[in-house]
Amino acid sequence: VVVVDVNADNGEATVDAMRTAGGAATFVRADVANTADVAAMAQTAMDTYGDIDILYNNAAVQLHFQDARAHELSEEIWDRTYGINIRGVWLCCKYVIPSMLRRGGGTIINVASPTGLFGLAPTYTAYSSSKGAVFALTRVMAVDYAPDKIRVNALVPGATETPLTKELFADQATRQSLLDATPLGRLGQAEDVVGLALFLAADDSAYCTGGIYTVDGGLTAV
C-alpha cells in the first residue's frame, strides 16, 4: 500500500499503523492538485511495488466557513476546492491508469459526498458542485475504461467524523441537524466505510462499475 498525504505526520502515522499490523506500506508526501507531485507519487508506487491495481481517491478539502453562495464566493476558495476535490481526482487517475492498462485492469474508487447529489445551501457552493463533478467523472471513466477491465465507482460516505469534519461538527447546531437528517440517528465513523471500500476494491465487485455507493446512515434516502 502506498499512503499519500500532504501532511507528512498523518501519512507516516498511517504507515506505522499498517506496518505494526503486519502490512507492507510506504508513505509519499504529495499535493494531489500538483502535477509533479502526483506523477512522482505514481512512479514511486510502481518502483516500489510494481504496477498499480487499486486507486483510492480520498483527498478532499471542505472549507466550511469560507464556502458561500455563488455571488459571494471568492475565486480563491473556488479554485482551491476544485483543485483538490476534482483536479486531484483526475490527476491521480491520469498518472495511475497507464499502470493499470499495462497490467490488464484495475479498480478506481472515488470518494464523493451526498452533497453532490442534492443542493445543500447556503454555504456549500464550491464543495457540493465539486463532489457532483466527481460523480460525472466516475461515470464517464467507467464507460471509457470498461473495455480495459478498469472499474470505476464512487463511494459516498454520509456525515462522518474525521479530521476534515472536526471543525464543522464542533458546532452543536450543525451536528444536531445532521443527526436529525440521518435515519440511523448517529454520525458515521471511518470504520463504517471500510467494508464498502474493501468490497469495491476486491473481485467480489467484479461486475460493478459506474456505480454510486452510499454509506450514509440513510441520509440520501430521506
Catalytic sites, residue numbers = 127
What does the CA dihedral 61, 65, 69, 70 come to, rounded to 10 degrees? -40
Q: Which three cell numbers stand for residue 99?
A: 499502470
CA 137 to centroid of chain Cα atoms: 13
Distance CA 185, CA 188 (A): 10
Contact (Cβ atoms closer than 8 angstroms) between residue 40 and residue 28:
yes
